[in-house]
């Protein structure tokens, strides 16, 4: 590795830390220890080996620096005043941005329960004190190989998410193993909020962001039915059944697609949301048959197979009022029955809007 200049310690502002990192030249190591002598020994050894080194002397600083710099590996002291290393590890593993970073514990505690606690907190390995730099370097190299692969996968996933968002796709990623919603594009947030309200309100503008703790009941129920079947459907190269939610003359469809490179039935699946509005269809019928706006709406719902009572409920009118509108529609279309009116209307719609789903 090529040697890099040492970065300052905790006094360096976090934004300056991020700007100073050159990820193309060296792996970044974050050392967390409250004992200056331990930091000095490790820092010198790692710096001489070509690593970019960051340090933190307490848990809070470690969390901030890790979130800002996203190091390739964390060397974490288990026992520190205030927030100990076990809690730091749990918090790092609980954040999507830092969950993939391998954590190597440094501990003077050799009892089995302490070592088990380190691994349970999210550590991938541990070294015992007093620290032997050569041993630390050897352990790091093993875990950095996996970290590099994880970083590449995250970069590719991020590029895919940004592309989906940039091209205006309403998409949600769902983990097949447990149905957890992982992230969503901005358009997906807007559509969910528009159709279901509540927790899907738009967050920060631009780019894909983590999904809020919100799943509309129809979507949750649909996923619960489909997820156990994904492996079989993927093996047969079949698309899972879609979910369609209607809201007046608008409808929102949800379809599941396996992401390229994922194992059959596993990994992440993509929910693609597509909204279709028939407002233009209703307007076209009004113009074609010289109908009022309300008459065009009544005819539209007639074509959709709705009864007078259904149409009244949708439009906020009584069945008697709907009947009067239909009588005027029949006269303008030159027909006497619902079936004839629906047939003429559908034929005209097919001419102007061949994609219409009756």
Per residue in 278-300, pLDDT (tens digit) is 888 898 899 999 999 999 999 99
Distance CA 31, CA 263 (A): 36
Give me the half-sphere count of Cα atoms (radius 13 Å) on the Cβ side of residue 160: 16
Tens digit of each residue's pLDDT (9 = 90 or more) over 224-244: 888 888 778 777 877 788 898
Distance CA 338, CA 345 (A): 11
Distance CA 271, CA 220 (A): 12
Distance CA 70, CA 158 (A): 15
Give residue for tokens 């209307």: 345
Distance CA 86, CA 94 (A): 12
Among 15-29, 107-121, 278-292, 313-327, the least confident range: 15-29
């Amino acid at each position: 590795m090529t040697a890099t200049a040492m970065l300052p310690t905790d006094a360096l502002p976090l934004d300056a830390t991020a700007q100073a990192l050159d990820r193309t030249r060296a792996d970044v190591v974050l050392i967390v220890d409250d004992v200056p002598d331990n930091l000095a020994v490790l820092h010198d050894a790692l710096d001489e080996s070509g690593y970019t080194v960051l340090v933190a002397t307490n848990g809070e600083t470690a969390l901030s620096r890790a979130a800002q710099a996203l190091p390739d590996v964390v060397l974490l002291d288990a026992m520190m005043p205030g927030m100990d290393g076990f809690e730091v590890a749990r918090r790092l593993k609980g954040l999507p941005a830092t969950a993939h970073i391998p954590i190597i514990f440094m501990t003077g505690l050799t009892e089995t329960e302490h070592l088990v606690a380190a691994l349970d907190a999210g550590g991938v390995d541990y070294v015992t004190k007093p620290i032997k730099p050569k041993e630390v370097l050897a352990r790091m190299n093993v875990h950095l190989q996996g970290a590099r692969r994880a970083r590449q996968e995250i970069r590719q996933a991020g590029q895919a998410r940004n592309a989906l968002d940039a091209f205006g796709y309403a998409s949600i990623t769902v983990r097949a193993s447990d149905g957890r919603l992982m992230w969503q594009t901005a358009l997906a947030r807007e559509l969910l909020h528009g159709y279901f309200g509540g927790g899907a309100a738009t967050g920060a503008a631009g780019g894909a962001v983590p999904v809020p703790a919100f799943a509309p009941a129809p979507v949750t129920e649909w996923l619960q039915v489909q997820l156990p079947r994904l492996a079989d459907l993927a093996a047969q190269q079949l698309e899972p059944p879609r979910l369609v939610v209607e809201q007046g003359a608008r409808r929102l469809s949800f379809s599941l697609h396996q992401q390229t490179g994922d194992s059959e039935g596993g990994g992440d699946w993509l929910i693609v949301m597509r909204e279709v509005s028939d407002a233009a269809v209703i307007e076209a019928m009004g113009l074609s048959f010289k109908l009022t706006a309300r008459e065009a709406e009544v005819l539209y719902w007639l074509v959709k197979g709705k009864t007078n009572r259904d149409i009244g409920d949708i439009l906020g009118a009584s069945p008697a009022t709907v009947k009067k509108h239909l009588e005027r529609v029949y006269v303008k279309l030159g027909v006497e029955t619902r079936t004839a009116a629906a047939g003429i209307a559908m034929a005209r719609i097919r001419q102007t809007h061949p994609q219409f789903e009756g």
